[in-house]
Amino acid sequence: MTRQAENTLREAIVLITGGGRGVGRLYAHRLAAEGAFVVLVARSAAELEDVARSIRAEGGKVATYVVDVTTKPAVARVVEEVEEQLGPLDVLINNAGVRGPIGNAWECDWDDWWSTIEINLGGAVAFCHAVIPNMARRRKGRVVNIVSEAGVFRWPTVFAYSVSKAALIKFSENLASECRDDSLSVFAYHPGFLPLGLANEAMDLHASATPAEARVAAWCRAQLESSSAASPGSSAAQLVRLLSGAYDVLTGRYVTVHDDLDLLVARVGTAAASRDYRMLRSSA
């Protein structure tokens, strides 16, 4: 039986990083349609304004802020400004990310590798640092970290991206345990392999690319043509379900677009989840 949930997104203030394109743009439109006030942050003012115009044309509510997610003081200032101007944040979606270098680990440029970690992992941590204290004081809020199967399974030659997403999954798990006493929920959400964003960038690698890049591009094309690909609509719908409040018992877990959330809840069980958490706290 499908769990019933109220529309917790109506009038909610939702901040989405990397909101100017790809998955961020997709989710911004869907959450605005659900009645949320979406706050979009990214490095490109032009991309942000393009998304904002299209959301407003559909009757949605949106605000945009230009910020580099790796600059922690700037992140803190933006979050403070958002909450002063619009009100407290109800949802944080850490979506900003880059593919990073492609190639064997010992051959990739170190600066490119580290930059990928700083954006994909560091950006999420910076926003959590800025957002969670107020959520904890209000005892209300949800955090969704956008991750990938690449963080669960190996993806050779795309190792900076893979390692950053694996770290983000573990960060989500630990953060959820730390936030449980404050009634906050944290999810590591894999949106599926979608025909937009980083997947498109990978497929657009030119024929003159390195052999490693050519293999990645071919693999991405095969994925999009296979049954394992997800539709943008189903990816956004699953996110809405996660944010409904009906699945908060799954806090801390890696959840995918393909998962049956009701089945996951039935397997976890509220009592079992609470017992496991008490055991974790007592052993800490």
Q: Which residues have a catalytic role annotated?
A: 161
Q: Nearest-CA neighbor of 36 among 187, 243, 268, 280?
A: 243
d(CA 60, CA 30): 10
Instruction: Give the SS3 label for residue 63.
Output: strand
Instruction: Give the SS3 label for residue 65.
Output: strand
- State how far the alpha carbon of 13 is from the alpha carbons of 26, 38, 91, 168, in Å: 17, 6, 7, 23
Q: 71-109: buried (b, 16+ CB within 10 Å) or exposed (e) per residue?
A: ebebbbebbeebbeeeeebbbbbbbbbbbbbbbeeeebe
CB 143 within 8 A of CB 157: no
DSSP state of 90: S
Structure tokens given for 229: 């690909």
Structure tokens given for 85: 């101007």
d(CA 211, CA 104): 11
